[in-house]
Amino acid sequence: MYGTLARMRIRPGSESALQDLEREWFRTRGRFVKGVGPSYVLAPDGDAGTRWLVAIFDDEAQDAWYRQMREHLLEDPEWIDGTWTDTRA
């Protein structure tokens, strides 16, 4: 598995628009794109303007989507790419 961890700083007032965009993507595209795995968004306690995105893919070629999300962020996310291991195995 391949994936990314991204720290995102949200533009004030864009929290719900960003959440709607994430839901729309998974409803209309995410389920149908070959190689896309689970994705999670963490809203950390005490930091309402930050989200941590975890996205998992079959391999490096599957992680291209993010342009629509960018307009709701203050800056480019801080991306941390790498190989995920399943601790349940």
Entry pTM = 0.65
88: confidence class by pLDDT, cuts 50, 70, 90: low
Q: Is residue 44 part of a domain?
A: yes
**CATH number of domain containing 48:** 3.30.70.100
Q: What DSSP string describes 17-84? A: HHHHHHHHHIIIIITTSTTEEEEEEE--TT-TTEEEEEEEESSGGG----HHHHTTBSS--EEEEEE-
Q: Is residue 69 part of a domain?
A: yes
Q: Is residue 34 part of a domain?
A: yes
Q: Is residue 64 part of a domain?
A: yes
Whole-angstrom distance, CA of residue 41 vs CA of residue 35: 19
Number of domains composing the chain: 1
Q: Supply the pLDDT for residue 66.
A: 59
63: confidence class by pLDDT, cuts 50, 70, 90: low
More confident residue, 66 or 74: 74
Identify the domain containing residue 9 by its residue range.
2-83
Q: Is residue 17 part of a domain?
A: yes
Q: Is residue 88 part of a domain?
A: no
Q: Is residue 15 part of a domain?
A: yes
